Amino acid sequence: MKHRTAKDGPAGPAKTRAAADGLDVTQENVAVVLDTVRHARRLAASAAASFYGLYVETRDRRIPGLATVFDREFPRTSDLSRAICGPAGMAWMATRTESLAPAWWYCETGAQQCPAFSLVSLGHNMPALTSNLPGLALPVFAEGGIGGFFVLAGRDMAVDDGLVCDLHIRAFSLFRSVARLRLSQLDGTPPMSKRELECLTMTAEGKTSEDIAAALGLSVHTTNQYLAATTHKLNAMSRTHAVAKALRLGLIA
C-alpha cells in the first residue's frame, strides 16, 4: 500500500479535500495512522460490518459539517464518505445535539430485510445515509471538545446493546488517538512553562494582567511577558486567541 506523504502532490480532487480536513499522513505519524486504521478494521469485523469510517466535525467553516479522517478505502475516500461529508452529513450535524446516543439507519428496501438492529434498544433511528446499506453512527469526542462520528455499515451487520457499548468505547479511543495526531499536526506547539500555563489559565478565567500579577506575586510586566510568550508559542494573534487555542489543544482545562 502506498501512502501519501506531505511531499507528494495531490492525487485528485477528493484526496486534496480529505487532506485539508482530515488526516495528513506524514512519515512521523504513519505508524499511528496505520495502527488506528487497523483497529477500526477490527472493530468493523466484530460487528460484521463491511464499511467503516471515521469523521471529524469541521469548525473552520461557517456551516458545521463533517470531514473524513479515514475510511475503508484509506488512503482514498469512498463514495459513502463523500455522502456523509456532503449535504447529508450537514443536515445530520444540524439536527444533532450534544447527545452521545448512537444512531442507526436501515436501508430503504425495508426494515424487515435488515434485521441488523432489531436487538438494539439504545439510541435512535435516523434518516438513511445510503440507500443500499444499513449502518450505525457512534458520536465520539476528544479533548478540547472536538466531536466526530465513527460509522459502521454493512448488509450483514449484527449488533446488540452490549456490542454497541463495546464498539462505542473502542470508537472513543480510536478517535482520541487520531484527534491527538490532528492537533499535534496543526500546531507543533513548543512546551509551555508552569508559569506560562498559570497565566493563561487565569486569563481564561477573565483575570487581567494586574489580577494575575497580584495573585502570583509577580510584576505586571512579567505577567505580560509570560502571556506574550504563550501567544508567540501558540502562534496566536492575540491573548484571546491564545486562550482559545490552548483550550482546544487541551493545554489548559
Question: Using the 8-state DSSP alphabet, how is residue 151 labeled?
Answer: E
Contact between 44 and 157 under an 8 Å Cβ cutoff? The reply is: no
Q: Is 61 in the site for another protein (CB under 8 A)?
A: no
Q: Is 170 in the site for another protein (CB under 8 A)?
A: yes
Q: Is 161 in the site for another protein (CB under 8 A)?
A: yes
Of 1 and 63, CB closest to another protein: 63
The Cα-based distances of 138 to 54, 75, 80, 192 in angstroms read 10, 22, 16, 34
Question: Using the 8-state DSSP alphabet, how is residue 106 labeled?
Answer: -
Secondary structure class of 181 (helix, strand, coil): helix
Amino acid (1-letter code) at residue 24: D
Write down how long the chain is.
253
Distance in Å, CB of 197 to another protein, minimum = 14
d(CA 186, CA 191): 15
The Cα-based distances of 252 to 45, 131, 179, 220 in angstroms read 37, 44, 16, 21
34: its cell numbers: 496505520
Q: Is 168 in the site for another protein (CB under 8 A)?
A: yes
**What mask, x for binding another protein by CB under 8 A, covers residues 173 to 192?**
x--x----------------
Q: Is 32 in the site for another protein (CB under 8 A)?
A: no
User: Which range in 24-32, 42-50, 59-67, 108-116 contacts another protein by CB under 8 A?
Assistant: 59-67
Q: Which of residues 204-223 bind another protein (CB under 8 A)?
A: 204-208
Kindly list the residues in this chain that would bind another protein in the complex (CB under 8 A). 59-60, 62, 97-101, 121-123, 141-145, 147, 160-162, 165-166, 168-170, 172-173, 176, 203-208, 236-241, 243-244, 247-248, 253
